[in-house]
Chain A
Amino acid sequence: MREINVSELSDAVCKLFIDANYYIPEDVAGSLKKALERETSETAKEILKIILKNHDISASEKMPLCQDTGVAVLFMEIGQDVHFSGGDFEKAIAEGVRKGYSEGYLRKSMVGDPVMERKNTGDNNPPVLHIKIVPGENVKMTAAPKGGGSENMSEVRMMKAADGTKGIIDFAVDRVKRSGGNPCPPVIVGIGIGGDFEQSAILAKKALLRRFGERNADQKYAELEIEILKKINELGIGAMGFGGETTALEVFIEHVPCHIASMPVAININCHAARHKEIIL
C-alpha cells in the first residue's frame, strides 16, 4: 500500500493545467508544421504560420495559447494499492484547479447553473473527472483543458448495426462539414464507438489524448481512421474554414463492446490547440 497525501494531487493538478495551457504538445506542433508544408492555399498557409507563431509567443511569454483555457477535464488512472490521506479527494482536485487557474492567469469559464442563472463560479470549478482504477500503486493524471467552441461541434448518435462503417464515415464527415470554421480547424476528431450512450462520449474524449501518428491497434479500425481522415480533408474546409488542404490533423477511434441492439457513436471535436499534459505520481 502506498500513501499519497491529497496535497500532492492539488499541486499536480495546478501545474498540469498551467503547463497544458502554455505549451502545445510537440506532436501537435509537428503535425501543424507538416500541414503547412503540404498546404497549397496561400490563405491557409498564412493562418498555419500564425498558429505556429502563436505557440512560440505563448511558450516564451508564459501565457495561454488560447484565451479559452477550457473546462478542466482530468483523466486519472489510480492504482488500487494507493491510499489517499490528508483530506477529501475531490476537494483536493478542485483546489488544484482553483490554484492553477488563478496562478496561471487562466480564464475561468464555468457557470454554476447551465440554464437559469449562468453565474461564473469564479475559479473554473467544478472539473470533469474520469477515474479508472488499475493494478499497482501509481497515479496517472492527464489534464485536457477543453475549449467550448470545438466541444459545441460534438455529437452522440445511437446508430444501428446495419449502418456499419459507411454510417460511421458519413456521420463523421458530415459532422465536420457542418462545423465549418467554428471549431478552429484544422481539428482533431475523436470517435468513440460502442459501450452505451455515455461511455461512447467518454471514449471519444479519451481518443483525443492519443499521440499523433499512432493508430488504433486493431487493423480494421486503423484503416477506418485513415479513410475518415482522407474524406474529411477532401471537404476543403481548411484552416479556420477559408479553404485548404488540411481540415483535420488526425482521426482517432476508440472502441469497446456494446449491446446487441446498439451501435453508439460519439464524435468529439478538438480545435488545433489540442492541449493535454500528463504526469505519473
Chain B
Amino acid sequence: MSKIHKIKTPLTDDIIKELRIGDTVYLSGIIYTARDAAHKKLVELLEKGEKLPFDLKGAVIYYVGPSPAKPGMPIGSAGPTTSYRMDPYTPILLRNGLKACIGKGNRGQDVVNSLIENKGVYLAAIGGAAALIAKTIKNAEVIAYEELKAEAIRKLTVEDFPCTVANDMYGDDLYKKGVEEFLKTKK
C-alpha cells in the first residue's frame, strides 16, 4: 500500500530509505531548478573540480524551466520537463551528494543503478499541471546562469510540493511496475 510522506529538504539517507515507488511525497524547503543547459555546466564544474553554485549534499534538483512570473507572483507556471535528457549527467551528481531529482518520464538503467548505489530517489511530478504546481512555490531566486533565461538555476522555496516516488533506492521502477500491475487487473 502506498504511503504519504511529508518531508523537508535537505534529504538524508534516513528519509530516502523510507520512500518506495508509488508513495506520494509532499516536499517542503529549498529545491534547485536545473535542466539541460544547466546540467551541462554543473557537470563541467564537477569535472574541473570547481565549486558549484549550490551545495549538492542532500539536495533536490527539479527539472523545470518555468514561465515568467507575473508581477507580484514568485514564479510563473512550473511543471516538470522530461527527465531522460538529464540521464547522462545524473549519476555524477548523485555521487557528489544529490539525493533526489524531480521530473517526468522514465530513467535509464545507469540512473536507476546510481540511485541504488548512492541512496537516492527519482520523484515524478505531474506534467502539464504547471499552474497547480506553481501554487506550492513560495519564493524563487535565480542563483546562477541568468543568461540561460528559463534554463537558469533557481533556488525555490516550496511548501507541500506534490510528487510521486517513481524510482526508489531499492531499484524499483513505477513506470514498469505501475503498468504491469494495471495490466494484471485487466486479465
Q: Report whether A107 and B150 are in contact in the complex, using a CB–CB cutoff of 8 Å.
A: yes
Q: Report whether B185 and A108 are in contact in the complex, using a CB–CB cutoff of 8 Å.
A: no
State which residues 51-93 of B face A: CB under 8 Å.
64-70, 76-79, 81-82, 84
State which residues 103-146 of A face B: CB under 8 Å.
105-109, 118, 120, 122
Does A184 reach chain B (CB closer than 8 Å)? yes
- Residues of chain A contacted by B10 (CB below 8 angstroms): none
Interface stretch among B41-49, B153-161, B176-184? B176-184
Q: Report whether B128 and A105 are in contact in the complex, using a CB–CB cutoff of 8 Å.
A: no
CB proximity of B179 to chain A, nearest CB, Å: 5
Q: Report whether A43 and B178 are in contact in the complex, using a CB–CB cutoff of 8 Å.
A: yes
The residue on A at minimum CB distance from B64 is A67
The residue on B at minimum CB distance from A111 is B37
Complex partner residue of A238 from B64, B70, B79, B179, CB under 8 angstroms: B179
- Residues of chain A contacted by B65 (CB below 8 angstroms): 67-68, 107, 109
The residue on A at minimum CB distance from B125 is A240
- Residues of chain A contacted by B76 (CB below 8 angstroms): 63-64, 67, 105, 107
Q: Report whether B126 and A51 are in contact in the complex, using a CB–CB cutoff of 8 Å.
A: yes
Does B164 reach chain A (CB closer than 8 Å)? yes
Interface size class of A (residues with CB under 8 A): 35 or more
Q: Report whether A241 and B175 are in contact in the complex, using a CB–CB cutoff of 8 Å.
A: yes
Q: Report whether A58 and B175 are in contact in the complex, using a CB–CB cutoff of 8 Å.
A: no
Q: Complex: how many Å from CA A236 to CA B69? A: 37
The residue on B at minimum CB distance from A235 is B179
- Residues of chain B contacted by A235 (CB below 8 angstroms): 179
- Residues of chain B contacted by A149 (CB below 8 angstroms): 81-82, 104-105, 127
Contacts A120-B150, A272-B128; is A63 near B134 (CB within 8 Å)?
yes
Q: Complex: how many Å from CA A100 to CA B130? A: 19
Q: Report whether B182 and A244 are in contact in the complex, using a CB–CB cutoff of 8 Å.
A: yes
Q: Report whether B128 and A271 are in contact in the complex, using a CB–CB cutoff of 8 Å.
A: yes
Q: Complex: how many Å from CA A238 to CA B124? A: 14
Q: Complex: how many Å from CA A109 to CA B148? A: 10
Q: Complex: how many Å from CA A120 to CA B147? A: 9
CB proximity of A156 to chain B, nearest CB, Å: 20
CB proximity of A217 to chain B, nearest CB, Å: 31
Contacts A57-B135, A182-B84, A184-B127; is A243 near B70 (CB within 8 Å)?
no
- Which A residues form the contact surface with B (CB < 8 A)? 40-41, 43-44, 47, 50-51, 53-54, 57-58, 61, 63-69, 105-109, 118, 120, 122, 148-149, 152, 180-184, 235-238, 240-244, 271-273
A-B contact pairs, 6 of them (CB 8 A): A50-B162, A61-B131, A109-B65, A122-B149, A236-B182, A240-B124
- Across the A-B interface, give the 8 residue pairs with the lowest CB-CB distance, nearest first: A243-B182, A184-B127, A182-B105, A243-B178, A242-B178, A58-B131, A107-B67, A57-B131
